[in-house]
Amino acid sequence: MIGHPSYFEEESPRAEILQGAMEEFIEFGKKGARMQSIADRAGVNKALLHYYFSTKENLHKEVLRRVLEKGFSQISQSLEIPMEPADQIRSLIHSYFEFFRKFPELPKLMIHEITSSPQEVAEFFGKLFSENPNYPRAFAEVIKEGIARNQFKPVDPRQFLITTISSIIFFFVAKPLFIDILEIEDGDQFLDERLDHLQEILMDGLERSP
């Protein structure tokens, strides 16, 4: 599992299995993933894999739940700190971007699942948001507050959220292509510049002129 970020911080066979499964799902999607290959990546035998997770379906759901909850916990911190709506939106954009910067392969997994099993993904997110804070709704409420205080233009909060998330996810999916075609030097400076540009463009379309 060299070269991949660690999505699961605890040290245990279960965490190794989850990490191996994450890498397998990123590369092949749920349908193409093989339990034996996951066991090999995790360095465990297949019997132990089935002891912890009886089916590929259960393993897949646990991987998605754990990874997304890790991301949402970072976003939650942006929502818990009282601040002006514009600062709150900037903080949320920053949190979304930094989560995918830390785990740049995650968007590829999401694209795999959305294109192959859209209804299943929709049901998964519906259940996730029924058991945890509804972050998209909270994001929209911040925009509504800014509109009510005449700080934001009367945009549709749903459209703004879609634009924000899709801009970030597609960027990380296509980043290797951008770097090659546009001859960009990859690194922290490039990512910092991308985040600054994204925030500038999004906020320019949202905030009213002084």
178: closest CA among 88, 167, 118, 84? 167
- 4 inside domain: no
Q: Say what the pTM is.
A: 0.79
Number of domains in the chain: 1
**The one-letter amino acid at 164:** T
- 27 inside domain: no
- 168 inside domain: yes
- 35 inside domain: no
Other residues' Cβ atoms within 10 Å of the Cβ of residue 13: 14
Burial, 204: exposed, middle or buried (Cβ in 10 Å; 0-12, 13-18, 19+)?
A: exposed
Can you give the residue range of the structural domain that contains 72?
A: 63-206
Q: Could you read off the pLDDT of 97-155 as tens digits, one per residue? A: 988 888 887 888 878 778 877 887 788 777 767 766 677 888 899 999 999 999 999 99
- 33 inside domain: no
What CATH number does the domain containing 120 carry? 1.10.357.10
Distances (CA, A) of 36 to 2, 16, 48, 50: 18, 14, 11, 10
- 14 inside domain: no
